[in-house]
Chains A and B, each alone.
Chain A
Amino acid sequence: MAKKKSANSSSDSNRAKADPAKLSPQDKKTLGSLTGLADGVVDLAHKSRAPHMDVPSRSLSNARYNKTKRYIEMGNNTTRRELFNLSQAKSYMQTLLVSSGCKQLIEEGKTTSIRGLYYLLKHTIDGTKEETFNDQAESDPIIEDVEVLLNALREELHVYASNRGTMVGNIIINDSGDEIDCSRMGSGGYNIPSIVEPEVVQFVKCSAKFILHVEKDTVWRRFNEDKFWRKHNCILTHGGGQPPRGVRRLLHRLHNELGLPIYCVLDNDPWGYYIYSVIKQGSINLAFESKRMAIPEAKYLGLRSIDFERCNLSNSVQIRLNDNDRKRAKQIANYPWFKDKPKWQKEIKKLLDNDFKLEVEALINKGISFVTETYVPERLEEQDWLD
């Protein structure tokens, strides 16, 4: 038994030395939930009962589309996680480790990335050759579990996701006390942080009239280089594929607080449809965050499956659908928010009929700046989008 040895694990003593930071009321509330979690364990163990926790489930079956709110909500289902259950023992332990890691961050007044938390908690279990976490793919979902378990947002746990996502445009913001004019960001743009809550980011002045969100960096560069946002007086963002929380949260705030409409330019493939769906309705995995992130009014500008003919593109830009694409497309066509929309059904059917996908970059076929000078302006002009 490794009982004696693990009694004073090194992280324990480190923790004691750290200076207690000034705690915000939110921090105090979060700490309260964390302590409560541990109290439950002590209580049950003392009564010789097996400890367990009921984690709200982040599965498809527990996600519902709320028709009036027009976004995905999390249901009330929970999954029991028990220490004395072979398949759950390890994740039970990991859940408590993540909780204690968050407590440490809050008490020390620090934040870290989900990767940082992984490294903070990763060590070899005493007396074994087993690691607490084998890789980050093990700790990431546990962090989400703790969020839903304590009904606390990730930021409230002092953890953030990697920032992936950039913004330029006619808006001035304040980020942690620094004023940033997003129209003067050169070629790189403003890196959207993962925590964009009002405590961190405030909107100072905005003259932009809408937001153009594109799928990825390469497309974003084209638009920035062509100074699209200046010509059209807008904000230009990208989220590096599936937009991270910070980007989604910022879009949500820009939309709701400044009343800016959002138009998306994404690839014409199931993945592009899915990104739009997440921005608009929220994701199944983070259904509990939909309220703060989903933008039901977001519009899908392109690319469309009719674009191959409409823009008269050459055959060489077609990319064949694979089985997985076809399967995903059919799934997406069945999403409750797409199901009753004839235009969307037509769009997806056409994609399947085409049996090929188109990347935004394909438009370069018609000229380097075709997308910024012709394609997007025409769509906006004609109000030709999917909703």
Chain B
Amino acid sequence: MSENLLEVKNLKINFKTYAGIVQAVRGVNFEVKQGETLCIVGESGSGKSVTSNALMKLIPQPPGIYEEGQILFDGRDLVPMTEKEMTKIRGNEIAMIFQDPMTALNPTMRIGKQIMEVILKHNKNVSKADAKKRAIELIDQVGIPFPEQRFKQYPHEFSGGMRQRIVIAIALAAEPKLLIADEPTTALDVTIQAQIIELMKEIQRTSNTAIIFITHDLGVVANIADRVAVMYAGQIVEYGTANEIFYNPKHPYTWGLLGSMPDLDNDADQLLRTIPGSPPDLIHPPKGDAFAARNEYAMQIDYEQDPPMFEVSATHFAKTWLLHPDAPNVPVPEAVRKRIEGYIQKNKEAGIDLGKVGE
């Protein structure tokens, strides 16, 4: 299990716009092992979608530019690959689940056909009848009743949650090694969200598929992550096992995210709900630490020099000057700590144990 399925090295993605070059992803590093789930969290605009689309080479060029870096999938670098080579990888080895199930399906094609399409595309020796059988199995597997009837229906005959299940079925159709889910529950209402998360967890258990799960909600992360990457302004600012991120968060931005998790019982600490300020302009990223302007613990150096990734443990890194040996010792704010404890408690009661990795 130590072999990395995916290794992203110093990935930089820019967009050429009339206003200037938008540096959407600014040197991102992470790995995903087979069967493992990596969660990428961050506010909206932090570059999560661009990163995930970049992994599949789905960034439109122009305006997108792969400025620098490597995407090593199974040892091969995807960045220099041609469109034609990518068509053999997309849907087959890497599959994707999109944020908005209402628009992710072709409105004028029967859903059965939309599932079969992937199967037929990537298995040249599968007959139409077999593909149909497999598609019906998949509809059943993602928890949709009456799969035979559903096979013949159009997307508008499905609810949002059901459509997301279909999108998941399509993603699973070719048994990919890596599944990228870009905020798959954000567009759904809360009860449906929980069901889709359950389904993702079942996929985790029953297949050996690695998952990159993107979300802006750390509450979801506790549920499914092995590893967590916290993204801010196109960079990963903290990276560690789910355990480390929840029990021992080091970056003030992570504290902010943890503090802004919806409080399940008591709605005290309203102040903590959001991180004050807004993300920096990515056309002219600030000098020093991009988070400095919003960081109540910012020091002089934060405005002058970009911090490196400090190693907390062999699996845990954070990009903040607070980890420098000379920095003052700043503990996790009390209110945030309480919020986290509440969450961990809740999860324990629900039978969820954090941190499968690194124990």
* A and B physically associate: no
B-binding residues in A (CB < 8 A) = none
Interface residues of B (CB under 8 A from A): none
